[in-house]
Amino acid sequence: MIPVADVSLNGHELAYVTECITTGWISSLGKYVREFEEKFSQFCGSKYGIATSNGTTAIHLALAVLGIGPGDEVIVPSLTFIATANAVVYTGAKPVFADSEWTSWNLDPARLEEKITPRTKAIIPVHLYGHPADMDPIMGIAKRHSLFVVEDAAEAHGARYKGKRVGSLGDLSSFSFYGNKIITTGEGGMVLTDNVEWDERARQLRDHGMSKQKRYWHPEIGYNYRLTNVQAAIGVAQMERIDDILARKRQNAALYNELLQDVPGITLPPEAPWAENVYWMYSILVQDEYGMSRDELMQVLRANEIDSRPFFYLIHTMPPYADSITPQEAAHGFPVAAQLSQRGINLPSAPGLTHEQIEYICRVIRQNRR
């Protein structure tokens, strides 16, 4: 089976992890945590990086830093991984779901303002599958309405918006380093910001809310969201190879695009003129013209030893969130996101895919059209 994603740990990962073990620095103190925070925040063009235990705790921590809580609303795309909405719920606030746009497959800035109420405190644009959200209009709307913007960049390490790396564009941002993400620490995450006060507050909240000046004095209820030195050691080794990983992903996407561009009924992934997509997942849409449904194509791929994934379900359609919108909104409020969710497939996207494997996958897609 050609996998959708793989993990490649053949750089200095083993050497750095071994060093953690031989020196005994396996918990969350140790030089690699700071080094990983510095290298990754610098890579993204942000001043401060606060490593966390995973990408979900990173979003939660960013929202906690902003003081978001019960009674507040936070706008999120309905088409994203569930963690974006769950992290809002962890604060006591309510996620408000918004539609996507065709240009970027992300939050539609034109349909954002209709979601704003006096309770709205923040917007979380997600850079889905590696393509940046259209940040300038989103930031403009946020500014006009005095809202915070937290980027969920869990799927888009290194992607660029108008030349700038995602994660450096909002007030705060969050990343994930889960095993299938662009770089990994096994489990892990990071919050980025340029604001020194938010950096300090995030560090305090990450460590049980303990005062920096007074050990075991806790002015507020915090969390244990720390990353271990062992995980950070893997992250530092992965950072040595991130440029190579991103280059491979873009090369693979270029080959996919070339071989699939004229297959009727197959829509290629977007790359807006202002964007550099990192193709975390190389994704296509299966239109009616292809002659079989998305799910049928996935079965054909599977029968040919090719793994794939469907796009995420819209979050507001799942049980915990079913009451979050009116039936009217559910039926008509998400025309673009609903199409994307129904028609989208993530194809194998591992950086280690060979030319021959991509040619084979495209041949199967081309030849099975009805």
- When asked if residue 283 is in the footprint of ligand PLP (CB under 6 A), the reply is no
Spell out, one character per residue from 132 to 171, where the chain touches ligand PLP: x when CB under 6 A holds, - when not.
--------------------x-xx----------------
Q: How big is the site for ligand PLP, counted in residues (CB under 6 A)?
A: 14
Q: Which of 46, 173, 176, 231 binds ligand PLP (CB under 6 A)?
A: 176
Q: Given its phi and psi angles, is residue 365 left (phi above 0), alpha (psi -120 to 50 degrees) or beta?
A: alpha
Structure token pair of residue 58: 């990173």
257 Cβ contact partners less than 8 Å away, ≥ 6 residues apart: 268, 269
- Min dist CB 124 to ligand PLP, Å, is 9
CB atoms inside a 10 Å sphere around CB 161: 24
Q: Which is closer to ligand PLP, CB of 175 or CB of 290?
A: 175
Q: Which of 66, 88, 126, 141 binds ligand PLP (CB under 6 A)?
A: 126
- Residue 175 phi/psi, 5-degree rounding, is -130, 160
Q: Which of 46, 56, 100, 104 binds ligand PLP (CB under 6 A)?
A: 56
Q: Which stretch binds ligand PLP (CB under 6 A): 50-58, 68-76, 322-330, 346-354?
A: 50-58
- Min dist CB 153 to ligand PLP, Å, is 8
Q: Which stretch binds ligand PLP (CB under 6 A): 31-39, 79-87, 89-97, 133-141?
A: 79-87
- When asked if residue 54 is in the footprint of ligand PLP (CB under 6 A), the reply is yes
Q: Which of 41, 78, 80, 349 binds ligand PLP (CB under 6 A)?
A: 80
CB atoms inside a 10 Å sphere around CB 368: 16
Q: Which of 65, 75, 76, 83 binds ligand PLP (CB under 6 A)?
A: 83
Q: Which of 19, 81, 209, 242 binds ligand PLP (CB under 6 A)?
A: 81
> CA–CA separation, 227 vs 87, rounded Å?
18
**Do you know the residue count of the chain?**
370
> CA–CA separation, 179 vs 181, rounded Å?
6
CB atoms inside a 10 Å sphere around CB 23: 11
- When asked if residue 193 is in the footprint of ligand PLP (CB under 6 A), the reply is no
Structure token pair of residue 322: 């079913």
For residue 65, which amino acid is it? V
> CA–CA separation, 225 vs 218, rounded Å?
16
- When asked if residue 278 is in the footprint of ligand PLP (CB under 6 A), the reply is no
- When asked if residue 277 is in the footprint of ligand PLP (CB under 6 A), the reply is no
Q: Which of 46, 84, 168, 252 binds ligand PLP (CB under 6 A)?
A: 84
Q: Which of 158, 189, 265, 333 binds ligand PLP (CB under 6 A)?
A: 189
Strand order in the sheet with 172-176: 48-52, 189-193, 172-176, 148-152, 120-123, 73-77, 94-98
Cβ atoms of 135 and 143 within 8 Å: the answer is: no
The binding site for ligand PLP (CB under 6 A) comprises 54-56, 80-81, 83-84, 126, 152, 154-155, 176, 178, 189
